[in-house]
Amino acid sequence: MRHLASDELLLDYASGALGEAGSLIVATQCALAPEARERVAELEALGGVLLDEIEPEAVSDTAFEALMARLDEGACAPIVTKAPARPAAPSRVPMPLKGYVGEDFDALDWRSVGGGVATHEIELVDDGMRAFLIRVPAGTMIPKHTHKGQEFVLVLEGGLSDEHGHFGRGDMEISDGTIDHQPIADAGADCICLAVTDAPVRLSGPVGRVLNLFVRI
């Protein structure tokens, strides 16, 4: 089963209401998961129907045209690039992320946060959200934690599991203060994820409660 961004998030994305961090993670999921692109298209179609039904008089021709032009541009549309004469080895970095982190995860400046887990901050316009890559070694468990705000985690490589299921490449897990979880990376390959949060996570296990005082993942 695919774990997609919520309809609310996809709609906000399609309408341009998301900030930079939110747009980045949704665009990256669209690049990795055709199901996300299809859902955006469905929601856009539904949005058009709702506009027609709710305020047929209030929507001017030009406003409608502007909306359709915007949807046509669709940031979720597949990105077509000219094939180079001599194709290079395919990059592991999904297209929307390349402008932020380059072509090679291994070449990044990773900051160790303990237990073999490392993070790489992504520079964004400061809109109250934080985006970073997190790399978890194969088979490694992240400390049990809950969240003060919302946490969006998109798997870019490898996979991870927690109480809510298994998340593979292109899957997104959305967590908030009601979710307490302890993700573990799949055996066999390191798991690299793009994470977007609007508040630091809070470690919730017995050791974690103490660690909270000292660390911030």
Query: Which residue, 18 or 153, is less far from Zn ion as judged by CB?
Result: 153
**For the chain, what is the largest distance between any 2 Cα atoms, rounded to a whole number of angstroms?**
60
Smallest gap, in angstroms, from Cβ of residue 201 to Zn ion?
5
Residues that bind Zn ion (CB under 5 A): 151, 175
Query: Which residue, 23 or 175, is less far from Zn ion as judged by CB?
Result: 175
Tokens of residue 120, six digits: 């790489």
Looking at this protein, which amino acid is placed at residue 62? T
DSSP-based three-state secondary structure for 55: coil
Smallest gap, in angstroms, from Cβ of residue 73 to Zn ion?
33
How many beta carbons lie within 10 A of that of residue 194, not counting itself?
26
Looking at this protein, which amino acid is placed at residue 88? A
Smallest gap, in angstroms, from Cβ of residue 205 to Zn ion?
12
Smallest gap, in angstroms, from Cβ of residue 145 to Zn ion?
6
Query: Which residue, 14 or 196, is less far from Zn ion as judged by CB?
Result: 196
Q: Do 23 and 76 touch, CB atoms closer than 8 A?
A: no
Query: Which residue, 102 or 177, is less far from Zn ion as judged by CB?
Result: 177
Tokens of residue 166, six digits: 């298994």
Nearest partner of 191 among 116, 109, 134, 130, judged by Cα = 134
